[in-house]
Each structure stands twice: as structure tokens, then as C-alpha cells.
Amino acid sequence: MRLITIATILLIAFGAVCADDAQKDADLADQILWLVSKPVSRIKPHWGTRAMTDLHYRLRLARAARVAADRFDVPVLLLLTIGYRETVFRPLEVGDVGRSLGIMQVGIMGRRKCKEFCKEIKTVEGGTMCGACWLDKGRQWCGSLHGGLMAYVSGKCKAKTPAAHRTFNSRLLLWNQLKTRELRRVNR
């Protein structure tokens, strides 16, 4: 009798966790839709991209970001910000004349330092995990999340060029917009 009770409790608890995760994924998928629905200004056009038109893909992106954020203890909304700004959530994107790969555009150094997590960089899950690892390495190296984001953008803990400042500030602004949207949603 006791075994049945424990098993039942575990199943109910696991079901609650799964339902909670599904709700978190749905909320993040809504944030992704908001990102790709924004008017384009100096970034790659994204009308008609998979993130715009495919709910299941947005849920997959959300799940990958949530899992990577939990694994590396980085803010999930920051991962979405980076994925959006770097590639508009395109996992096969190649940048910097072939040096940066995946949804999060992780360069050669990042792929070396996070090789355990970058094996499948051209998948949604692998690219997001690789980017989260690289952001976490930057945070450790620079001593703060803001420093880690700057290192992600420029390779240095402090910006050395106006372009690095602009890129960093645009990501910070978008991340703050996502956090504000999340607070409004929670407080409804």
C-alpha cells in the first residue's frame, strides 16, 4: 500500500512539474512571437521566418532556452534576447565570415571553451546550450552578468569601441523590454 501511495505522489508531482514547464514554455513562446513581430530596424528581416509562423518551433525554442538557462543559471530572457539579435532564431546561421555559428552565433573561442555543449551547435537545443555556456564563461571571467554580456558581444569585459557599446546597449535595452513584458504578464 505504501509503495502505491509514494508512486502516486511522484506521478502527481511529476505531472505538476510538466504542466508548469509547459506553461513556462508557452509564456516564453509568446515572448518569442513578440520579438519577431516587432518592426524591423537595422536587423535581418524576419517576416515569414519559422519563429514567426510556427508555434511548435517557438515552443521548441522556448524549451531549449529554459533548459539552457536552468543548466547555466543565466536569465532565460537574456538568452532569447541574444538568440533574436544574433540570428532571429535561425539555428543554421553562419556569421563573421564562417567563424560564428548557430542560433547564438558562438565564435571559435566559445566553441572551444564550451566544446562539451557545442557538439550540436546547428540545432536549436545545441546552439542555445552552447551560447548559454559561453555567456556563463563570460560572466565567470568578467565577474558579472553585464560583463559576461559585454564579453559575449566584444570578447572583452569592457567595451573598447563605439560599435561594441551600441551592440551591448541594444541587447540590454531589449532584455529590459522583455523583463518589463514578463512583469506585466505576471501582475495581470
All cell numbers assigned to 107: 565564435
The answer to whether domain 2-186 has CATH 3.10.20.30 is no
In this predicted structure, what is the pLDDT of residue 1? 40
Is 34 within 8 Å of 181 (Cβ atoms)?
Answer: yes
Q: To the nearest whole percent, how much of the chain has pLDDT over 70? A: 86
Give the domain ranges of the chain: 2-186
Average pLDDT, the chain: 85
Is the Cα torsion angle 6, 12, 13, 15 positive or negative in sign? Answer: positive
Q: Which residues of the chain have pLDDT under 70?
A: 1-17, 39-48
Q: Which residues contact 121 (CB under 8 A, 6 or more apart)?
A: 101, 102, 106, 111, 127, 130
